[in-house]
Structure 1
Amino acid sequence: MIEDIVIKKFTEDYKDEVIDLILDIQQNEFNIPINKEDQPDLSDIQNFYQSGHGNFWVALYNGRVVGTIALIDIGNHQGALRKMFVKPAFRGSKYNTAKLLLLQVITWVREYDVHDIYLGTTELFLAAHRFYAKHKFVQIKKETLPDTFPIMKVDTRFYQLKL
């Protein structure tokens, strides 16, 4: 029997697992030269993400973190999707981890009257590009992003979801 994935709001109890998951995928799977110090948000998730209409969620399997997703409130009824990472074994339709995480964000933004979600990603995340397109995100040019959108140095491709 397959256990269910449970989506929960981030608490400090998950901090080390979240950092380990994100760094492992960035560094070992995609060979992105980034570390914890390059991502100060990971050391202060509650203040960085869990303010305004933003939040940070974890996907749990048997109580262990297998995925993450975050939303930053960038004002003007807009949000920036960040830190969407899923362990390789939990990707795809068997567990639907990424879909469950994204549905949590969409439920949240509708409750808080957010009309647009933006995201930046790298050219390397080809499966992510397909995932976003499947969930009605449209690729946009960098120049059309809101001024308040926090661009990461690795971001080269951008998407928008209108709700």
Structure 2
Amino acid sequence: MQIKPIQNEYENEIVDLILNIQQKEFNVPITLEDQPDLQDIANFYFKPGGIFLGAFIDGKLIGTIALVKFNSEAAAIRKMFVKKEFRGKEFQIAQQLLEQLIEYSKENGIKDLYLGTVTLLQAALRFYEKNSFITIPKEALPVDFPLMKPDNVFCHLNLNP
């Protein structure tokens, strides 16, 4: 498995992976139009100081994670998706994606990571809790946190405890 930064040249693979998981697997009522970031990864993620990582096996995109830097010391984790057949402890793909994202964050002066998700994604919530994220109320988010419409559960990880 290889993890590397990816940009617009992987747009079709990224959109295919993410929309299939969101819409078909979890029935989240979200469309590509609701996620304009997916059609301009370079400007949305990289330009402000974030990153978009892809996990590949045999040249095929099987997982993603992204970081939106929304102020000098804080960022939001977005687009954490792994194809169903590559999830779980045996592969550790989500874990490796998250660890690389945290490492990138520390190297780039980010002190706080936030994320939003939906109640429906219980396995995702357990995964973040296992990685020391704490659930916080929406009101505790920074005012400049980039909210996504479907999100109703929010988490925080301080990188310099």
- TM class, shorter-length: over 0.9
Q: What corresponds to 1:60 in structure 2?
A: 56
After superposition, the C-alpha distances for 1:29-69 in whole angstroms (9 at most, x for unaligned) are 11112111111111101100112321101011111110110
Q: What corresponds to 2:5 in structure 1?
A: 9
Q: What corresponds to 1:30 in structure 2?
A: 26
User: Does the CA contact (< 8 Å) of 1:54 and 1:70 recur in 2?
Assistant: yes
After superposition, the C-alpha distances for 1:95-140 in whole angstroms (9 at most, x for unaligned) are 1110010011111011011100000000010000000000000000
1:72 is matched with which residue: 50, 68, 73? 68
The worse-fitting range, judged by mean Cα deviation, of 112-121 and 46-55 is 46-55
Q: Structure 1 stretches (4+) deviating beyond 3 angstroms? A: none
Q: What corresponds to 1:134 in structure 2?
A: 130
Question: What is the root-mean-square deviation in Å for CA atoms of aligned residues?
Answer: 0.9
Q: Aligned ranges for residues 29-108 of structure 1 at < 5 Å? A: 29-108=25-104
User: Does the CA contact (< 8 Å) of 2:8 and 2:39 recur in 1?
Assistant: no
Deviation at 1:77, TM superposition (A): 0.3
User: Does the CA contact (< 8 Å) of 1:53 and 1:109 recur in 2?
Assistant: no
User: Does the CA contact (< 8 Å) of 1:57 and 1:69 recur in 2?
Assistant: yes
Structure 1 residues not aligned, in runs of 5+: none
User: Does the CA contact (< 8 Å) of 2:137 and 2:154 recur in 1?
Assistant: yes
Q: Tell me how far apart the structure 2 counterparts of residues 85 and 58 of structure 1 sit (CA, whole Å).
A: 10
- Size of the aligned set, in residue pairs, is 159
Deviation at 1:14, TM superposition (A): 1.6
The worse-fitting range, judged by mean Cα deviation, of 10-19 and 77-86 is 10-19
Q: Tell me how far apart the structure 2 counterparts of residues 33 and 138 of structure 1 sit (CA, whole Å).
A: 26
State the identity %. Answer: 49
